[in-house]
Structure formats: C-alpha cells, structure tokens
C-alpha cells in the first residue's frame, strides 16, 4: 500500500494537500473496481463515502489538448450522489464539476472542452456522440427562491436537464434548469438555453430560440 501511495503522489503533485489522502485511497479503490477511470494531474477530487460511481466505458477527467496546459480542475461528488458513465467520455482541463447531495449525473459518450462549469443538484443527463465546446455552463438549479405579488408561492428551484444524442453545443453557452435539448440539435455560441429545444434544430440567442429546422451536423 505504501508503494502505491508514493506512485500516486508523484503522479498528482499539484493536488491540494488536504485532499491528497482521500485521493490516494479512492484512486486505489476505483482502480480495483474499474480500470477505466483516468483522473489527470492538477485536479482536486472529492468523493463522499456513500456516493456512487459506475463507469461502463471509459471516463477521462481533467485531460489536456496536445501541448496544452493542465489548468486546475475539480470534481466534487457529495453524499448519496451518483455518477454514471455509459460509454467513453472525456472532460478536458479547467473543469469545475459539482454533484451535490442526492444528485445524479449520467454521461453517454463524447467530450466537453476546456472550462466546463457544471452544478448538478437534481439530475443532468448527457447522451451519446455529444460535442460540447469551451466555457459552457450547465446548471439544473437556481439555488434561491424569488417571490413576487404576481407569484406569491415558492417556485421550483431545481429541475432535471437532458441533453440528447448527437448534440453540438457551442462555446460560452449557458444551459439552465428544466431544459431538454433534442437529438441532433445545435446550440450556437453564446446562447442561453432556458426552454426546450426540439431535435435537429439550430437554436441561438439570449434566450435561445429556433433559427433553423431539419438540420444535420458532422
């Protein structure tokens, strides 16, 4: 066990030291259960004792583009949260991923480029063959209530997000709670998605609305 810890320490030199013991232990346990989880250096990783990870394919977190830089990243999985990966999925460096208590994150296949900011309080599901560009925010909760005389009752703070298969999301897009993006859809750069997007459509704007129908992308 001491030899394994030394090897892991040399591989993860830049990780915050107060999480290092947790990372050492969990990395060994995850390797025994599933050899297809790859956590790259300069990534802070916290996994609560009663949380769950199930990887059927391969998951890479905090990886770099060729000749690029390992920016700081973090993956926080809190109590009773679930991370499920159905196929091969890659998340590049500078990611900030929070699975909060009782939340579920399901990943199909594809990749998310640098700068992901994801907060999962309820449920986020991403399909297969998905391409997500840089600096995208995916957040299934408002965190706070807003009351007004017109709407005196407390609104629903968190709602699930579903991103379908073969979806392309451009850079600097924000995806908010309760949204479903249909198979084959494209979300243009800089858009804010706060309502459902049908399959095979191009959506753009703040808020995003349909620009083209019956599209295909390659």
- Give the phi and the psi of residue 25 in degrees, each rounded to 5: -65, -50
**Active-site residue set:** 144
Q: Is a pLDDT exceeding 80 seen at residue 28?
A: no
Tell me the pLDDT tens digit for each residue of 83-139: 999 999 999 999 999 999 999 999 999 999 999 999 999 999 999 999 999 999 999
What is residue 165's DSSP assignment? T
Predicted pLDDT of residue 34:
54
> 20-33 and 2-11 helices cross at what angle (nearest 10)?
110
Predicted pLDDT of residue 2:
31
- Give the phi and the psi of residue 131 in degrees, each rounded to 5: -120, 115
Predicted pLDDT of residue 95:
96
Tell me the pLDDT tens digit for each residue of 177-204: 999 999 999 999 999 999 999 999 999 9
User: Which domains are assigned to the chain?
Assistant: 37-144+153-213 (2.160.10.10)
CB distance 170 to 187 below 8 Å: yes
Q: Is a pLDDT exceeding 70 seen at residue 16?
A: no
Predicted pLDDT of residue 64:
85
Q: What is the pTM of this model?
A: 0.84
Q: Is a pLDDT exceeding 90 seen at residue 46?
A: no
Angstrom distance (rounded) from CA 64 to CA 123: 27
């Amino acid at each position: 066990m001491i030899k394994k810890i030394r090897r892991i320490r040399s591989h993860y030199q830049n990780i915050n030291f107060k999480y290092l013991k947790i990372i050492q232990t969990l990395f060994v346990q995850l390797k025994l259960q599933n050899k297809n989880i790859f956590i790259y250096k300069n990534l802070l990783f916290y996994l609560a004792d009663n949380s769950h990870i199930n990887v059927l394919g391969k998951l890479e977190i905090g990886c770099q583009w060729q000749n690029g830089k390992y920016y700081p990243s973090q993956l926080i999985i809190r109590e009773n949260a679930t991370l499920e990966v159905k196929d091969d999925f890659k998340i590049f460096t500078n990611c900030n991923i929070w699975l909060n208590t009782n939340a579920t994150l399901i990943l199909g296949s594809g990749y998310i480029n640098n700068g992901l900011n994801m907060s999962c309080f309820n449920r986020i599901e991403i399909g297969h063959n998905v391409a997500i560009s840089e600096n995208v925010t995916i957040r299934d909760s408002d965190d706070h209530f807003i009351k007004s005389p017109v709407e005196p009752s407390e609104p629903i703070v968190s709602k699930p997000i579903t991103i379908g298969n073969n979806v392309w999301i451009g850079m600097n897009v924000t995806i908010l709670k309760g949204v479903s993006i249909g198979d084959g859809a494209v979300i243009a750069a800089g858009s804010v998605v706060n309502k459902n997007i049908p399959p095979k459509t191009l959506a753009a704007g703040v808020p995003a609305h349909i620009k083209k129908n019956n599209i295909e992308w390659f």
